[in-house]
Structure 1
Amino acid sequence: MQDEKNKPVKRRFIAGAVCPRCGEMDTIVNYRLGDKNYRECVNCGFKDEIRIQSRPAEIPTRVNESGLDKEVETPVKILEPGPAKKNRK
């Protein structure tokens, strides 16, 4: 079993990313050391820690809410049919 410190670091290029220092596109690699993520430019050597933010709370919508909390519909007034009326001219 290998120790985590001896494992090779898996680096991935970020497509379309622009380096904030040199302005070159497609030169940024992303990698993880321990519990921190880093980005690094292979062109100029810029290095920065990426702070991972937690997911924002999901906005309640009719799609993701259950229908159990709906109010029970009650009729306001029931109309009974009366005797038929003849048309007057």
Structure 2
Amino acid sequence: MSTVKRFIAGAVCPRCAAMDRVVMYEDEGQQVRECIDCGFRDVMATEPDTQELETRVNRKAKAPQATEAQPIRFYPNPKLSAKKE
């Protein structure tokens, strides 16, 4: 049984910088990408070896801080009060 190799549209080879010359296929359960120009071959990791980075999306929200209610005092505008008199 032959291996089905598929071109990756827009992919650039990391070694020779050739565009649209990289193929992807599966070999013994591992994903492999290969450049057909220079022969560069890279086996892709199937399991992530790093933890997910903390971002504002996956960070746990902090509890909102309780604030005390404070009354607001309104003072009359002295310019408007002088015109009425």
- The alignment's TM-score, normalised by the length of structure 2, stands at 0.54
Query: What CA deviation, in whole Å up to 9, does each residue of 1:43-73 have, x standing for no partner?
Result: 100001011346x7xx6xxxxxxxxxxxxxx
Matched positions, count: 53
Which residue pairs with 2:9 in the alignment?
15
Distance 2:15 2:28 in 1: 25
Please report the RMSD computed on the Cα atoms of aligned residues, expressed in angstroms: 2.2
Runs of 4+ that moved beyond 4 A: none
Matching of residues 25-64 of structure 1 within 5 Å = 25-53=19-47
Q: Give the TM-score of the pair, scaled to structure 1.
A: 0.51
Within 2, Cα distance between the matches of 1:16 and 1:53? 25
Unpaired stretches in structure 1, ≥5 consecutive residues: 1-6, 60-89
Share of identical aligned residues, percent?
Answer: 44
Counterpart-to-counterpart distance in 2, 1:53 and 1:25: 27
Q: Which runs of 5+ in 2 are unaligned?
A: 53-57, 59-85
Whole-angstrom distance in 2 between the partners of 1:37 and 1:27: 17
